Structure 1
Amino acid sequence: MPHALKAIYRNGTFILERSCDLPEGAEVELLIQSPQTVLPLIADPSTKQRFLQALIERMQQNPIPLNAPRLTREMLHERR
């Protein structure tokens, strides 16, 4: 039966947040869920400037409505 474990990747090693009761040598499958968005590397300054300008324009064209529900801290945190 699948069992979820949380870990942090540090210095080439996955460090579990809590201990687990797996037998030595047990095979596991990792599913990576990155909380951060990885942006493509843009080396050319003029390309980067055009990208950022387009991003700002899209954000300005899609503002958050004034009557949008406010998110609480509980709503923003992961629940399991």
Structure 2
Amino acid sequence: MPQPLKAVYQNGTFVLKTDCHLPEGAEVELWVNSPRLIPPKISNPSERTLFLRSLVEQMQQNPIPSNAPKFNRESLHERRC
């Protein structure tokens, strides 16, 4: 039976705001309920397919150089702040 839980996303982890009585290793499915989610601007499936193909082609034409700096989770987090 579904059990609603409230959590806050902090530092890459979901921190529960409500008590949770699940067994260790239980698998859960998260549904994000946030006003900050932005719906896709392209809702027509065929337009979306064309856009994604174009995006992939552009990415393939401009690959990341092999000598580009490597980022890890911490360095990316620091860049957002």
TM-score by length of 2: 0.42
